Amino acid sequence: MNPETEYREGLNELASHYHDILTLLGENAEREGLQKTPMRVAKAMQVLTRGYSMDAHQVLRDALFKEDYSQMVIVKDIDFFSLCEHHMLPFYGKAHVAYIPNGYITGLSKIARVVDIYSHRLQVQERMTLQIKQCIEQTLHPLGVMVVLEARHMCMQMRGVEKQNSITTTSEFSGAFNQAKTRQEFMNLIHNNSLI
């Protein structure tokens, strides 16, 4: 889906609901500044949830290469934006993903695409972390996978406890990353800011 030109079915109905929401909030949905807002929000929501119409496993399969490499492959500092499913407010941050190949590698950009697909759904950070790990695990069958997400949640910053500086970190790992030494190597590498 090209977010600038293609939208999913139901766009007009979604815009109609946003028109009603504006009215229920006490606004005049017909005033000049809000006349086009329902459609703008409907389009934005379809872009922000475009991951529902994408197959992350297929993205990896489309760039699967046989390679005799069995050391850690890390793609770190992958920016992501998602929507918390509890309040539909954004959470955003960085994903760090590592895997140890077992005969096959994938294109590096495909790891970032997997993060993008799962982040463009209504989410909780814990599930998103698990989904990324499982996708890589089930598609590449590596010796191990580890995923760490670090994020700020607007539902904690703008409402509720209103803690602006809190960061939530989640991790999932399997295989070779069950060894503390391997996990520590990954953590050291993702927190090393050197670009060599």
Residues 6 or more apart whose CB falls under 8 angstroms from that of 193 comprise none
Please confirm, yes or no, whether 84 is among the known catalytic residues: yes
Is 135 catalytic? The answer is no
Does the active-site annotation cover 172?
Answer: no
Please say if 71 is a catalytic residue. no
57 is catalytic: no
| From 46, 123, 125, 131, the catalytic residue | 125
Is residue 86 part of the annotated active site? The answer reads: yes
Catalytic one of 86, 126, 179, 191: 86
From the candidates 19, 96, 120, 153, give the one annotated as an active-site residue: 153
The answer to whether residues 94 and 77 touch, using CB atoms and an 8 Å cutoff, is yes
| Active-site hit among 57, 134, 155, 157 | 155
* Per annotation, catalytic residue among 35, 85, 126, 138: 85
Choice among 19, 84, 96, 131 that is catalytic: 84
Q: Assess whether 191 carries a catalytic annotation.
A: no
Active site residues: 84-87, 125, 153, 155
